[in-house]
Amino acid sequence: MSEQREGGCLCGSVRFRTAGPCRPVMVCHCRQCARWSGYLIAATAVPAESFEILDGADRLRWYRSSGTAERAFCTICGSSLFWRPKDNNYVAIMAGVFDQPSGLKLDCHVFVGNCADYEVIADALPQHEGYPVTYPEWS
Ligand SMILES: [Zn+2]
Ligand SMILES: [Zn+2]
């Protein structure tokens, strides 16, 4: 059987599945993710065709967070769930919403140039000032 993962929001209304490999997890320190999550987001990603909503599509709302992307949350419990670019070729998924064990691996920090003044990065993972240009979108 090919690699599969499932997850969902806090209240269980929204459930999803990914098929195939997930991108290593990036911790994002940008200001949009800070406001959206309350602190930081850690996210993996898969190509759009490897992502499927199993349940609760009607309770999911997509919010246009910038000119180039939108973010999805559960309208019942408010969980921050997904991020996708305008052209919708892949979906980033918050690492914390996967069922455990997820088998995901933390890989690096991005947008560390935008860290808030209270943030502490206490691991030895690579830190990128912005989004690493050489980093593949999801592989
Ligand atoms: Zn929910
Ligand atoms: Zn971010």
Give the pLDDT confidence score for residue 2 in this predicted structure.
77
| Residues by chain with Cβ below 5 Å of ion ligand 1 | 9, 11, 13, 74, 76-77
Q: Which residues of the chain have pLDDT under 50?
A: 139
**What is the rounded CA–CA span in Å between residue 21 and residue 17?**
12
**C-beta separation of 28 from 43 below 8 A:** yes
Give the pLDDT confidence score for residue 1 in this predicted structure.
55
Burial grade of 2 (CB within 10 A; 0-12, 13-18, 19 or more): exposed
- For ligand 2, the distance from its centroid to the CA atom of residue 65, given in whole angstroms, is 11
CATH fold label, 4-114: 2.170.150
Give the pLDDT confidence score for residue 139 in this predicted structure.
46
